[in-house]
Amino acid sequence: MALPSPQFQARVKSVLSGDTLVLLAPTGKSTRTLSLAAISAPRMSSASTSAEPHAFASREYLRKLVVGKTVRFSVLYSVPGKAGNREYGVVMLADGSVLPDAIVAEGMAKLRDGAEKRGEAGVGELVERLEGAEARAKSQGKGSWATDGEEAACERDLGADPKAFVEEWKGKAVESVVERVISGDRVVVRMLLEKSRHVQVTVLLAGIRAPGTARTNQSDGTTVAGEPLGEESQAFVEERLLQRGVTVRVLGLSPQGVLVGEVRHPVGNIAEFLLQQGLARCVDHHSTMLGAEMGKLRQAERTAKEKKLGLYKAHEEKRSTGAESEAVVSRVFSADTLFIRNKNGVEKRVNLSSVRQPKPTDPKQSPFGPEAKEFLRKKLIGKHVKVNIDG
């Protein structure tokens, strides 16, 4: 079928529920919320309300169908509301399928009560089609018409014992959906732990720090300015991950109790792509969690530095602060710190670049501290070494 005129084109940024889309203008600078005409889908949960049966399945059906795709749409009518007029319309996908027809045919939404009473052009014809599609879906027990309509419970935090959650899921790749992008290194994901159990939490991307975005100070309502390239970093992640299916590999907790993880979309680790574009920097806080993966992140950062991208636009390769010097290792203080003595007998403390000893306060790492220190002692104590000071 052909869409009524006028027709518009946009890219689907996200879906709020099984009947409402957020559309991004071709310029990429403005959004528009469009509800699909004449239908009603089950409501998703919020901080104060529970989800209706089949709500997540309905939202997921529409999400997988349209998010990230360019569509054509027409507005059939609008309804006044507190936040302005709410627009209702129809959408056509690239393959010619039309919404809301396809949604109702799968039982993922139902015909809205009183829809047939609207007199706007095109609505009557639409309602006739939807009545037939709904009758077929109902007879076949599809979607919302199925008898097993229990909605998965979605928790909004890690529970009373976040450490226990991390211990249970550490190292596992959990299928998830990115619900919100807070900044380039922080996203809100819905983790699909089990068929009947989901949890929606903030995840800190392991191994990187992205520039901060503008935020509102909750104490006095003032706006705190964002850092340079903060908006660009957020937009980079949002364009690729918002409402996309990802896997989250749980790694640990930050000192503030935020879940730390590796977020992968089908192409790879999003942190690595951020670093390649110069939209984030490597941090060593999570190097022990990431293991060998940290090397890949450092290589990605190095690529951005060489190409002078993003945060490294004015980057100059770090030069040694002095000529290479020779010394003797006199003491080993820890697995990452030692003392060297030059030919004049002057002793100096030196920290090894880009490494960190096993964390003494971490029960899982601390047992390896003495072993790591002994390894370094056997290798270096009393040996003549060449030293370059990085900074």
Cβ pair 165, 197 in contact under 8 A: no
Per-residue pLDDT, 215: 86
| Residues 340 and 382 sit within 8 Å (Cβ to Cβ) | no
* Exposed/middle/buried for residue 195 (C-beta within 10 Å: 0-12, 13-18, 19+): exposed
CA distance 237 to 251: 20
Give the closest residue to 186 by CA, choosing from 222, 233, 224, 251.
233
Q: How far apart, in whole angstroms, are the C-alpha atoms of residue 60 and residue 147? A: 19
Q: Which residues lie closer than 8 Å to 105 by C-beta, 6 or more apart?
A: 133, 136, 137, 142
How would residue 323 be classed by pLDDT, with cut points 50, 70 and 90? low
pLDDT, residue 213, reads 93
Q: ω before 100 within 30° of 0 (cis)?
A: yes
**Is the pTM for the entire model greater than 0.85?**
no
pLDDT at 1: 65
* Residue that is written with structure tokens 């879940």 in the block: 259
Task: Locate 185 and state its tokens.
Answer: 């290194």
Q: What's the average model confidence in pLDDT over 72-94?
A: 92
**Longest alpha-carbon distance in the chain:** 96
Q: What is the pLDDT of residue 391?
A: 62
Residues 6+ apart with CB under 8 A from 210: 183, 184, 185, 186, 230, 233, 234, 274, 279, 280, 281
Q: What is the mean pLDDT of residues 127-138?
A: 94
Q: How many residues does the chain have?
A: 391
| CA-to-CA separations, 340 to 63, 120, 325, 345, 384, in angstroms, rounded | 60, 84, 11, 9, 9
Radius of gyration of the chain (CA): 28
Per-residue burial over 348-368, b if 16 or more Cβ lie within 10 Å, else e, is eebeeeeeebbeeeeeeeeeb
Q: Rounded distance, CA 246 to CA 215, Å? A: 26
Q: Mind listing the pLDDT tens digit for each residue in 97-123?
A: 999 999 999 999 999 988 877 767 778
- The pLDDT value given to residue 101: 96
| Torsion sign across C-alpha atoms 318, 349, 384, 367 | negative
Instruction: With residue 198 as reference, give the H or E element that holds it.
Output: strand 197-205
Q: CA 212 to CA 216: how far, in whole Å?
A: 12
What's the token pair of residue 9? Answer: 């084109």
Backbone CA torsion sign across 94, 96, 100, 104: negative
Give the separation between CA 387 and CA 338, rounded to whole angstroms.
12
Tens digits of residue pLDDT in 27-43: 888 999 999 999 999 99
> What's the pLDDT tens digit per position in 207-230?
999 999 998 887 888 888 999 999
Of 162, 187, 138, 149, the closest CA to residue 56 belongs to: 149
Taking 60 as the threshold, does the pLDDT of residue 318 lie above it? no
Residue 322, pLDDT > 60, answer no
Calculate the CA 316 to chain-centre distance: 31
Mean pLDDT within 293-321: 85
Nearest to 175 by CA among 251, 260, 270, 244: 244
What is the 3-class SS of 311-349, one letter each residue? HHCCCCCCCCCCCCEEEEEEEEEECCEEEEECCCCCEEE
